[in-house]
Structure 1
Amino acid sequence: MPAYLCATCGTQFTPSDGAPASCPICNDERQYIGSAGQRWLTLPELQAGHRNRVEAHEPGLVGIGSEPKFAIGQRALLLQTPGGNILWDCISLIDQATIDAVRALGGISAIAISHPHYYSSMVEWSQAFGAVPIYLHAADRQWVMRPDPAIVFWQGETRPLFDGVTLIRCGGHFEGGTVLHWAAGAQGRGALLSGDIIQVVQDRRYVSFMRSYPNLIPLPAAAVRAIVGAVEPYAYDRIYGAWWETVVGHDAKHTVHASAERYIRAIGG
């Protein structure tokens, strides 16, 4: 039975005889059903028309993104550490060429994902590398469309992985919205891998925070302050967002503070 993919958000569902009636993730107010209506495809269909680009961001951090763009269009990040590699966030497309490229980089020991919009084909990725654990915050359990024994629902505010890598629950965009702190990133100054929980915007001097980006639903001031507070104990000079060009290259902690102040002023909070 095929495991259908939602064409709008890229989430893969449990294998079934026919396509699901609808995608709960896209029916939620933070996402949307495309103007052409609910559409589905299978992984072989996606493989037929797309390929993955694999390209380094900095030593120890490699981007993996699909071309042409599919669904939301995010790229994953392969974080290489002495204790094993971590795939941060995920994408829908996985094929033999990608598996070979990732194995050449040391494979994958764990997967961690910021929020449900990037769950995509996480189970396919886990299985391709030996059923490696997939770390998701337990607060977002209801949004898992393809349950699997490899999924580890962690609880609380932080979850250390290994080699100076820590998952931090920020909330905001989703209750379990998570960022990854990489202590060795940015030449030892620290980096955040933020998905769009902390959204790098076009003006790289700033980031932003939203409940819904496509539907322009803002977060309240208290939620923004909570995000800033969650990452405050950690040193970081760089932020890698969810897309290839969404990078704050330096002075990222100041950027987060200044952006939060600007945001709260703008909403009158």
Structure 2
Amino acid sequence: MSYFICNTCGVQHDQSTREPNECKICTEARQYVSVNGQSWTTLEQLIQCKRYINEFTHEEEGIHSIKTVPSFGIGQNTYMIQHEKFNVLWDCITYIDKETITKINELGGIQAIALSHPHYYSSQVEWAEAFNAPIYIHEDDKEWVTRPSKQIVFWKGDQLKLQEGIVLHRLGGHFKGATILEWQKKEGVLFVGDIVRVVADRQWVTFMYSYPNFIPLPANTVARMANRMNTIQFNKLYDAFHRVISDDAQNRVQLSAKRYIAALEGNLFNT
């Protein structure tokens, strides 16, 4: 019996005696099946091949990013937020080994894991069991959980306070239960996964239904997301791929939403 992991998205599935026929994450319109076909691995195989390590980067006081090198699956990084003896792992990556566990324990362990959306569920149960931490997932995305666990807490509504100063907000858009995390530190820091994605020009963000398949979100959905984010006080924004808006992030999100909507409605350009 093994917990098989999809090589394309990096999401771990429930225990089975043989490889699943398909990955429910990748066969859906927001993801894709590799042109080489569906293939599987396990965490044990990833560790035994000795190809991968997790690199820790100290982004700023209280924030470490963790990224698997070389890249695996979608290639996102996770963030460890150190907040008054309550450490939160924001989003997740597939690879976890003894060295990673030791390093995190040296930083104070993990008291909670929070997920933005199903593409980053990866091996979240392995992480939760390693640190005996609850996993917070919005109930609207319950159907996408591929490995059930008693560690998972399905929350409801538009907001959940994990701890004083750490708040989850359901934003929707990319997924119905798509979530962002607000850290009420200094001027405010927002962690968005790719529910909102920082683009190549770090002064702008974008919003998509599917990034690999280039499917945009409707104008009214983006307007709703922007209005919701306008109620949150933040000055800095981190996405899932080491892209950061370091200053004036709240204003940049609003300007980006207006530009996005103008493009969809045919008011931004004439070609």
For 1:105 and 1:147, locate their aligned partners in 2 and report how far apart those are by CA, in whole Å.
28
* Aligned position for 1:12: 12
* Aligned position for 2:204: 206
Q: In structure 2, what residue type is equivalent to 1:14?
A: D
C-alpha displacement of 1:222: 1.0
> Any conservation in 2 of the 1:204–1:248 contact (CA below 8 Å)?
yes
Please give the TM-score of this superposition, normalised by the length of structure 1: 0.97
1:251 paired residue among 227, 248, 264: 248
In structure 1, list runs of 5 or more residues that go unmatched: none
For 1:163 and 1:99, locate their aligned partners in 2 and report how far apart those are by CA, in whole Å.
26
* Aligned position for 2:130: 128
User: What percent identity do the matched residue pairs reach?
Assistant: 46
* Aligned position for 2:179: 178
Determine if the alignment matches structure 1 residue 63 to structure 2 residue 65.
Answer: yes
Q: Which deviations, in whole Å up to 9, do the C-alpha atoms of 1:40-76 show, x marking residues without a partner?
A: 0010222222110011111001001100000100000
* Aligned position for 1:32: 32
Q: In structure 2, what residue type is equivalent to 1:15?
A: Q
Please give the TM-score of this superposition, normalised by the length of structure 2: 0.96
Q: In structure 1, what residue type is equivalent to 2:56?
A: V
* Aligned position for 1:74: 76
For 1:168 and 1:109, locate their aligned partners in 2 and report how far apart those are by CA, in whole Å.
19
C-alpha displacement of 1:226: 1.4
C-alpha displacement of 1:37: 0.4
For 1:211 and 1:18, locate their aligned partners in 2 and report how far apart those are by CA, in whole Å.
32
Determine if the alignment matches structure 1 residue 140 to structure 2 residue 138.
Answer: no
* Aligned position for 2:269: none
1:268 paired residue among 262, 265, 269: 265
For 1:35 and 1:152, locate their aligned partners in 2 and report how far apart those are by CA, in whole Å.
35
Q: In structure 2, what residue type is equivalent to 1:105?
A: L
For 1:83 and 1:197, locate their aligned partners in 2 and report how far apart those are by CA, in whole Å.
27
For 1:254 and 1:91, locate their aligned partners in 2 and report how far apart those are by CA, in whole Å.
30
4+ residue segments displaced more than 4 Å = none
C-alpha displacement of 1:83: 3.9
For 1:40 and 1:160, locate their aligned partners in 2 and report how far apart those are by CA, in whole Å.
36
Q: Which deviations, in whole Å up to 9, do the C-alpha atoms of 1:184-224 show, x marking residues without a partner?
A: 1xxx0101000000111111010000000000000001110
Q: Which deviations, in whole Å up to 9, do the C-alpha atoms of 1:223-250 show, x marking residues without a partner?
A: 1011112222211011000012x11111
Q: In structure 1, what residue type is equivalent to 2:209?
A: R
Q: In structure 1, what residue type is equivalent to 2:212?
A: P
3-state SS of the aligned residue for 2:16?
Answer: coil
* Aligned position for 2:152: 151
Q: In structure 1, what residue type is equivalent to 2:143?
A: Q
Q: In structure 1, what residue type is equivalent to 2:43?
A: L
For 1:213 and 1:241, locate their aligned partners in 2 and report how far apart those are by CA, in whole Å.
14
> Any conservation in 2 of the 1:82–1:163 contact (CA below 8 Å)?
no
3-state SS of the aligned residue for 1:77?
Answer: strand
* Aligned position for 1:117: 119
